[in-house]
Amino acid sequence: MKIYFVKDYEELSQKAFEIIESVILDKEYPVISLNTGGTPRQLFKNFVKAIQNDLDITRTTLLTLDEYVGPSDAVYSVQRYFKENLTDQIEDKFYHIDLIHGDANNQDEEIKRYQKILQKYPRDIQLLGLGTNGHIGANEPGTPFNSTMFVSKHTKETIESTKKEYKLSDEETPNEMFTLGFQEILQAKNILLLVSGRHKAKAVKTFLEDNISENCPVSYLRNYDNVTVIIDEDAASLLDLEK
Ligand code: F6R
């Protein structure tokens, strides 16, 4: 695992963008799987700006890490996030995109469908964020490290952060999510984890300084060389190595 310590959110977003851009420039048919939430918002902005300024994504495939169970146009849905933060702003560009259908009637079939897509389009990059409880995707604490794509039940902590992120009432807040499991996450050629902000500092400390354990899902990534982590100063502020 490689770690870059950067100053702040701006620098983190720019560094992440540059890593994604270099894959798009280098590969003939790049496959980039993105996640959503607060952390990658600026990265999406940088990506849109570059595409509008002629970064060629005609041969790029875009995939996703996860999707809430619920209507595809719900304010919190990953489909809507991609639409608002990316695809609506690059309408005249050609690219290929395949997202998870959170409204699928048959969830098992949807999982099989998406697993086939993951096989057809081997990912060059899998983007990840970090939950304050150590989750990656919706692999919450206690999820076995051999998990494959499944519908996860969110913990209370995750439900609270979704509620806050999308300014929802209790009734509106989703509590289940399709997510790639550890196994699919780690099949990507490169895994890029972004962590920003003081509210993540405790999770970062557990991730990097405690034992590898299912209680802290992200800790599993420490075993792998194809993982790059970008952490800003606020998120790294509780680390002993930073003192
Ligand atoms: C969402 C996802 C989640 C988030 C995590 C951190 O697609 O993958 O695991 O990355 O909950 O969310 P933010 O970035 O909002 O702090």
92 among known catalytic residues: no
Write down the catalytic residue from 35, 67, 85, 135.
135
Residue 118 has pLDDT above 70, yes or no: yes
Sign of CA dihedral 228, 231, 210, 180: negative
| Ligand 1 binding pocket, CB closer than 6 Å | 35-39, 65-66, 129-131, 135-137, 165
Q: Are 122 and 196 in contact (CB under 8 A)?
A: no
Residue 127 has pLDDT above 70, yes or no: yes
Instruction: Tell me the average pLDDT of the chain.
Output: 96
Q: What is the pLDDT of residue 7?
A: 98
Residue 242 has pLDDT above 80, yes or no: no
88 among known catalytic residues: no
Q: What is the pLDDT of residue 94?
A: 85
Distance from the alpha carbon of residue 216 to the mean position of ligand 1, in angstroms: 15
Residue nearest to atom 10 of ligand 1 (CA): 129
210 among known catalytic residues: no
**Cα separation of 207 and 204, whole Å?**
5
In the chain, beta strands by DSSP E? 2-6, 31-34, 61-64, 66-68, 96-98, 125-129, 150-153, 176-179, 190-195, 227-232
Pocket test of ligand 1: the residue of 12, 13, 35 to mutate, having most ligand atoms within 8 Å of its CB, is 35
Residue nearest to atom 12 of ligand 1 (CA): 37
135 among known catalytic residues: yes
The count of residues in the chain is 243
- The share of the chain scoring above pLDDT 70, in percent, equals 99
Question: What confidence tier does 195 reach under pLDDT thresholds 50, 70, 90?
Answer: very high
138 Cα nearest atom in ligand 1:
9
Residue 85 has pLDDT above 60, yes or no: yes
37 Cα nearest atom in ligand 1:
15
